Amino acid sequence: MVSTAQKGSIDRRDAAIVIAHLIVAFTALLIGGVAGLLQGLVRGGNFKLPFGIGYYQLLTAHGVLMAIIFTTYFIIGFIIGGSSKTMGGKLLPITRSLTWAGFLLMTVGTAVGTVLILLNKATVLYTFYAPMAASPWFYVALTLIVVGSWLSGFGLFYNLRYWKKKHPGQMSPLFTFMGVITMLLWLVATLGVAAEVLVQLIPWSFGWVDRINVLLSRTLFWYFGHPLVYFWLLPAYICWYVVIPKVIGGKYFSDALARLSFLLFLLFSIPVGFHHQLMEPGITPFWKYLQVVLTFMVVIPSLMTAFSMFATFEIRGRELGAKGLFGWVKKMPWGDVRFFAPFMGMLIFIPAGAGGIINASNQMNAVVHNTLWVTGHFHLTVASTVALTFFGVTYWLIPSVLGRQLTPRMHKLGITQTILWMVGMFFMSGSMHTVGLFGSPRRTAYTTYQDHPDAVLWMPYHVVMAIGGTILFVAVLLMIFNVIALLTAPKGETEFPIAEAIDAAAPTPRLFERWGVWIGILVVLILIAYTIPTMDMINNPVPGSPPIVTY
Ligand code: HAS
């Protein structure tokens, strides 16, 4: 069923939703990029911020705009676009209305939050740890963003339910299935941060209660904060599983494997937040140990994804005549930015994921926690693997839904942008990892600690970080230029690439769509991992802290 209101690859009204989300996402990328450049220069030394702007204010703007706003808007736009495409090219009116309502709420929240950060009333970094307190309206703004995103999720769930009724006995399209899992993961994860914000931060920052249980607030934050990273990663995996095989002219390796890996992410990415709190007192070692075990479980679906991608590349390579273990490499479409950018993301995820496994190991976490190593880790994961994949998607998504052409010039510009990003990130994240191992702390403005010999040795690495950050800023500018070029590209057609499973793949078990079963297991795992330690924090509370304004 293709709508008459269609100009591009999906209904015009769905296309409008996609484009609106992408425009906000890339605006956030630009402002966040400016903040990133300035803070990189500050840490490099010899650079003073103008107009009374504070380093931590910039750090907050950079973290919130890049990690929360750019990602969330992009993800919703991408999932809505792909779900529309794979469920017949047209979403239900109710889904559209819910998504627009969500967009509105999120955008009001984003605008209020950004203004408060720029006014220096919410300099609490993107993790907004208590007892650092922001203006209460900052927390209200965060609530609007979260509730807005839920509305889009509800719209998608409703649409899938409708599709299933109209297609009895059929498995849902893989893209939509994966999109639904991503939004479900987000919904369950954000319950933690919603509880933190509504029950703790808002009453405390408005002065309705005097003190906050800091340990509980951090625990609720990380209940959300770790699945947040998979909320970023899963849409990138959607591209790898569903889009990349089509772009290289092949099919994906196994529908069942792809769905199982997403189900495993749903189960294991939530009950693991303690691996961000391994160095914190107040949580007994047993519960940390249990959540570290579950953390290693959540590595498995990533390894399954790596296996599936290798299989897809190898099968396609052999079809094209490749020989040997890595013969497929020569057969890949290196001049196609839709492949090149996400593939670079995959390549980077090999060391990035290894870094994650190091972080999760208790003894090694003691070495790297709160150092620039961790900043290096998340610039390889979310700011490279995920961001490069999202950029790769942008090159076809915009022209495809708008009925425009992805021109050969755009491929070249996109490949140049990707290379710039890789080079900038090599210097920036590489020096962050190295100097982090020497002990240089994260979340800290420029200081030599009164010329302490250790700190003086860190400085050359900070200069390299600043150089890398500057190259990355040029790459951000080029990306913004590319987005504008895509929005105004010549009229025509661009494929919305959705692959099929290899014919010989085994059938997918029906159990994979028994949502009640999976949500049930998820709830049990969360209860096992969190009930006793959380009850302990509530029943034996620490004295608590009044709000502290450090800026
Ligand atoms: Fe992490 C901290 C552990 C993955 C993001 N992480 C962070 C923070 C962020 C973040 C933002 O256990 C900082 C939060 C803050 O502000 O404090 N992380 C892990 C583990 C994984 C992991 C075990 N992280 C991610 C992803 C992120 C992300 C993904 C964003 C998208 N992380 C931690 C821990 C901390 C942490 C601790 C706390 C540190 C501390 O002390 O503060 C795993 O999920 C990683 C598994 C991944 C793999 C890689 C598989 C490789 C693939 C590529 C295949 C390549 C192909 C191409 C096919 C095992 C799938 C091949 C081609 C050829 C030619 C070869």
Which residue owns the Cα nearest ligand 1 atom 18?
356
Spatial distance between the Cα atoms of 356 and 370, rounded to a whole number of angstroms? 14
Residue nearest ligand 1's atom 60 by CA = 306
Tell me the best of 381, 386, 429, 432 to mutate to test the pocket of ligand 1, counting ligand atoms within 8 Å of each CB and taking the most. 381
Q: Which atom of ligand 1 is nearest to the CA of 278?
A: 41
**How many Å lie between the centroid of ligand 1 and the Cα of residue 278?**
16
Instruction: Give residues with Cβ within 8 angstroms of 162, minimum separation 6.
Output: 92
178: Cβ–Cβ under 8 A, 6 or more apart, which residues? Answer: 234, 237, 238, 241, 242, 258, 259, 262
Does 316 qualify as catalytic in the annotation? no
Contacting residues for 538 by C-beta, under 8 A, at least 6 apart: 213, 216
Would you say 297 and 388 are in contact if contact means Cβ atoms under 8 Å apart? Answer: no
Q: Residue 171 has what DSSP assignment? A: P
Report the pLDDT value the prediction gives residue 504, as an integer from 0 to 100: 73
For the question of residue 378 being annotated catalytic, the response is yes
Tell me how far apart the terminal alpha carbons of the chain are, to the nearest angstrom: 56
Q: What separation in Å is there between the alpha carbon of 244 and the centre of ligand 1? A: 21
Give the chain's domains with CATH numbers: 12-539 (1.20.210.10)
* Six token digits for residue 504: 């010989």
* CB-CB contact of 197 with 140 (8 Å): no
How far apart, in whole angstroms, are the C-alpha atoms of residue 198 and residue 20? 29
Tell me 172's DSSP state: P
Q: Which atom of ligand 1 is nearest to the CA of 236?
A: 31
DSSP 551: -
Q: Distance of alpha carbon 509 from its chain centroid, rounded?
A: 29
SS in 3 state form for 476-535?
HHHHHHHHHHHHCCCECCCCCCCCCECCCCCCCCHHHHCHHHHHHHHHHHHHHHHHHHHH
Tens digit of each residue's pLDDT (9 = 90 or more) over 341-372: 999 999 999 999 999 999 999 999 999 999 99
Residue nearest to atom 8 of ligand 1 (CA): 378
Rounded distance between C-alpha atoms, residue 545 and residue 551, angstroms: 17
With tokens 């996400």, the residue in question is 342
CB 277 within 8 A of CB 219: yes
- The letter for the amino acid at 82 is G
Residue with tokens 């950029």: 391
**With a 6 A CB cut-off, is 62 part of the ligand 1 pocket?**
no
Confirm if 110 and 181 have CB atoms less than 8 A apart: no
pLDDT value, residue 398 = 98
Measured by CA distance, the residue closest to atom 33 of ligand 1 is 356
Residue by residue, pLDDT tens for the chain (551 residues) are 444 456 789 999 999 999 999 999 999 999 999 999 999 999 998 788 988 899 999 999 999 999 999 999 999 999 999 999 999 999 999 999 999 999 999 999 999 999 999 999 999 999 999 999 999 999 999 999 999 999 999 999 999 999 999 999 999 999 999 999 999 999 999 999 999 999 999 999 999 999 999 999 999 999 999 999 999 999 999 999 999 999 999 999 999 999 999 999 999 999 999 999 999 999 999 999 999 999 999 999 999 999 999 999 999 999 999 999 899 999 999 999 999 999 999 999 999 999 999 999 999 999 999 999 999 999 999 999 999 999 999 999 999 999 999 999 999 999 999 999 999 999 999 999 999 999 999 999 999 999 999 999 999 999 999 999 999 999 999 999 999 999 999 999 999 999 998 877 778 999 999 999 999 999 999 999 999 999 999 999 888 999 999 88
Q: Are 57 and 149 in contact (CB under 8 A)?
A: no
295 lines ligand 1 (CB under 6 A): yes
Q: Under a CB-based contact definition with an 8 Å cutoff, are residues 427 and 467 in contact?
A: yes
Task: Indicate if ligand 1 lies below 6 Å from the C-beta of 261.
Answer: no
Ramachandran category for residue 384: left, alpha or beta (phi over 0 → left; psi -120 to 50 → alpha): alpha
CA angle 225–231–233, rounded 5-degree value: 110
Radius of gyration of the chain (CA): 23
Question: How far apart (Å, rounded) are the C-alpha atoms in residues 474 and 175?
Answer: 33
CA–CA dist 349, 292 (Å, integer)? 20
* CA–CA gap between residue 18 and residue 83 (Å, rounded): 11
DSSP 298-335: HHHHHHHHHHHHHHHHHHHHHHTT--SSSTHHHHS-TT
- SS3 of 219-231: the string is HHHHHHHHHHHHH
Other beta carbons within 10 angstroms of residue 416's beta carbon come to 14
Which residues have C-beta within 8 Å of that of residue 325, sequence separation ≥ 6? none
Ligand 1 within 6 A of CB of 229: yes
Measured between alpha carbons, how far is residue 418 from residues 334, 343, 379, 426, 506 in Å? 12, 10, 15, 12, 36
542: helix, strand or coil:
coil
